[in-house]
Structure 1
Amino acid sequence: MTAIISMDGDVALVEVQATRFDAAEAPAFKADLAKGIAGGPRKVVLDLTRVAFMDSTALGALVSLLKMLGKDGSLAIAGAQPAVRRLFELTRLDAVFRLAETVPDARALVRG
């Protein structure tokens, strides 16, 4: 999976470039993020603007990311398309992950 990780002060911005985030992509995504945030930022904004489809394996990778950040970490998801947002709602993970419409809104949530 192609994900671009950049820094904005104390916040890591992870931009997912794929339109599908599924079982084929999740392992590489999880490994890339583990390397990208190891010993680094504890505040992460995940930009899912381009993602039109996501499955339960991808959700598992996001749960793993949340665990990697630890209790002092903060994660917000920006730009979830309607089908992706609906997956969060159906699995009730919208209560676990903070969803924002835009990247600036998500940054505000993690800095909050």
Structure 2
Amino acid sequence: MQLTLLPQPDGLTIRVDEKRLDAAIATAFKDRVRSMIAGGGAQVTLDLGGVEFMDSSGLGAVIAIYKAMPAGRRLTLTGLTPNVERVFQLTRMDTVLTIRKTAETTETRQKKPER
């Protein structure tokens, strides 16, 4: 399973570099992300921009990560592809979880033109 940890000033971003988040990897994904967020800051961003397909097991893993967040810490999902976004909309989890269109990482902050 391919995950990239990107430290941020206010926490961390975890980029999921898998095309599918399904039953085959959901448990390992959940366990690995939980261990990655254990030492992070207040904000955890899960960048799902590389995920083209998510089934109910993948959705369950994301929800389990959300429920396991320690008090005072926030989970934000970013970069949802249309198919993955549809899963969150159909299950109405888009009303429970914080979802942004794009991830604002240190990398993208540095690339923005100055005004």
Q: TM-score, length-normalised on structure 1?
A: 0.86
The 2-side partners of 1:29 and 1:15 are apart by 12
- Given that residues 44 and 75 in structure 2 are in contact (C-alpha distance below 8 angstroms), is that contact kept between their aligned partners in structure 1? yes
Q: TM-score, length-normalised on structure 2?
A: 0.84
Greater share of helix residues, 1 or 2? 1
Give SS of 1:87's match.
helix
Q: Which has the larger radius of gyration?
A: 2
- Measured after TM superposition, the shift of residue 10 of structure 1 is 2.3
- Report how many aligned residue pairs link the two structures: 105
**2:77 matched to which residue of 1?**
77
**2:59 matched to which residue of 1?**
59
The 2-side partners of 1:60 and 1:99 are apart by 16
Moved over 6 A (4+): none
- Cα RMSD between the aligned structures? 1.5
**2:24 matched to which residue of 1?**
24
- Measured after TM superposition, the shift of residue 69 of structure 1 is 1.1
**1:34 matched to which residue of 2?**
34
The 2-side partners of 1:36 and 1:104 are apart by 19
**2:100 matched to which residue of 1?**
100
The percent identity for this pair of structures is 38
Q: Which runs of 5+ in 1 are unaligned?
A: 106-112
1:42 and 1:63, CA in 2 relative to 1: closer, same or farther beyond 3 A? farther
